[in-house]
A and B are shown apart, each in its own frame.
Chain A
Amino acid sequence: MTRYYILFENYDQGLALHDLLDSAGVANRIAPAPAAARGRLCCGMSLLVTPDDIEAAKEVISKNNAVYHSIVPMEDQLKARRDRYC
């Protein structure tokens, strides 16, 4: 399954969008930013969003002029054991 990681320059940007997505009822979860996706954004946080929710997330970003770095799709590297969004 493809998962979308929204990447940020810092934690404050990420937590701000997390609040906006939560307020809008868009499922998302804070996760470590994948090493493979983040390039220079080492040690950062990301927001993990499913393919079903990514367009809604983009709408929230656009509507609120939310700051983020990039959105990166990645295939899951683990056999599906769980996908918990909160």
Chain B
Amino acid sequence: MIYLDNAATTMRKPDCVVKAVTEALTTLGNASRGAHEGALSSNRVIYRARKSLAAFFGCQKPSQMIFTNNSTEALNIAISGTIDAGQHVITTCLEHNSVLRPLYRLRDERGVKLDFVHADRKGCVDYADFERLIRPETRAIVCTHASNLTGNMLDLAIIGQIAKDHGLLFIVDASQTAGAFPINMQEAGISILCFTGHKSMMGPQGTGGLCINGDISVRPFKVGGTGVQSFLTTQPEEYPTRLEAGTLNGHGIAGLAAALGFLNETGIDRIHAHEAALAKQFYEAVRDIPGVKVYGDFEAEERCPIVTLNIGDLDSAIAADELFCSYDIAVRAGAHCAPLMHRALGTEEQGAVRFSFGYFNTTEECDAAVEAVAAIAGTAI
């Protein structure tokens, strides 16, 4: 199978990740539950991973690098834990449902007001809109670093400066960019950075986290066992325990730590250069195929290695089905959990076919995908 669905998850992981998870499965006890070697071995793995990830993202306090199961959980914690009834939030039309649904829930349950920075037909925003939408009751700007549909990126430094100038929280969904691009919370003015471990970080599924800057207080999203302060009737106040009720995914975190080691050793610039070259090769080959329409801004200096397209009026699901059944190429069709972005692109009815490239893809696989698209374009009725 030619796997070109890396924006969903990087299916192929570095060998060191597989090895780390395998070893962890037979060596780790339950972190923070006891002081025997089994429990401590897990504590040590998690403690080191926490420190490494905090350093990787420029999070000043490692204790405020909170582990979660994925970006969605991290975003739920960040959004529901900092925004109160009656407050106002600015977000964008580029967002994934992992941002939109938590915000819609606050709108419905707490009367939180939402405003959206719109995107044009190329999926681009006007940064001045962020400032224009600020009101006295605005609490936060919540936005993605990159669209999972088009691969277009937002300039975090610009938005972070706007948030800083107006005393707003800046909550960032880095699902598509963590591990692929350097992200420094301090330089970008990020209040809370949410990430997943299984995409460009190349770690196992079921890993992710949020990094909280400074002295921001985030209410617990869930409460329960922590292995410490057992006679308290409430969740302990201190980070990270405050936001990490229940047994952590120690096995996954061991794999994520190994993945981070791989990224640092290999160099994320080198990894991204390879992925970007594949995406560019693919884009330049398919854009002129008759009937093919490509979405997104390909003139931008930086973008995720994603090329999303449609072939004539062919239903995107049928195109993806054909790619898999006849060419053994795995891509993602449909709405990609990004309803507002599809609306902006005018692809609500047809959906779109997303090709997303990863470090382990090759130019030969890219060529095969181009040939398949050309062949399907020739057979679409």
Which residues of A line the B interface, CB within 8 A? 31-36, 42-44, 76-79, 81-82, 84
Least Cβ distance of A77 to chain B in Å?
A: 5
Contact between chains at B336 and A78 (CB < 8 Å): no
Least Cβ distance of A26 to chain B in Å?
A: 19
Contact between chains at B379 and A43 (CB < 8 Å): no
Contact between chains at A78 and B334 (CB < 8 Å): no
Least Cβ distance of A14 to chain B in Å?
A: 14
- Look across to chain A and name the residue whose beta carbon is closest to the beta carbon of B334: A43
Least Cβ distance of B6 to chain A in Å?
A: 18
Which residues of B line the A interface, CB within 8 A? 313-318, 320-322, 325-326, 333-337, 339, 349-351, 376, 379-381
Within 8 Å CB of A77, what residues of B? 313-315, 318, 380-381
Instruction: Known A32-B333, A35-B334, A77-B380; judge A82-B318 contact (CB<8 A).
Output: no
Least Cβ distance of A44 to chain B in Å?
A: 8
Instruction: Known A78-B376, A78-B379, A81-B379; judge A34-B315 contact (CB<8 A).
Output: yes
Query: In terms of DSSP, what is the predominant structure of the interface of chain A?
Result: loop
Q: Which of A31, A35, A79, A84 contacts B379 (CB 8 A)?
A: A79
Most buried by A among B351, B376, B379: B351
Q: Can you spell out 15 A-B residue pairs with CB atoms less than 8 angstroms apart?
A: A31-B317, A32-B318, A32-B333, A32-B334, A33-B334, A34-B318, A35-B315, A43-B334, A43-B336, A77-B315, A78-B314, A78-B379, A78-B380, A79-B379, A82-B326
Contact between chains at A34 and B317 (CB < 8 Å): yes
Contact between chains at A43 and B337 (CB < 8 Å): yes
Within 8 Å CB of B349, what residues of A? 35-36
Most buried by A among B313, B317, B337, B349: B317
Contact between chains at A35 and B381 (CB < 8 Å): no
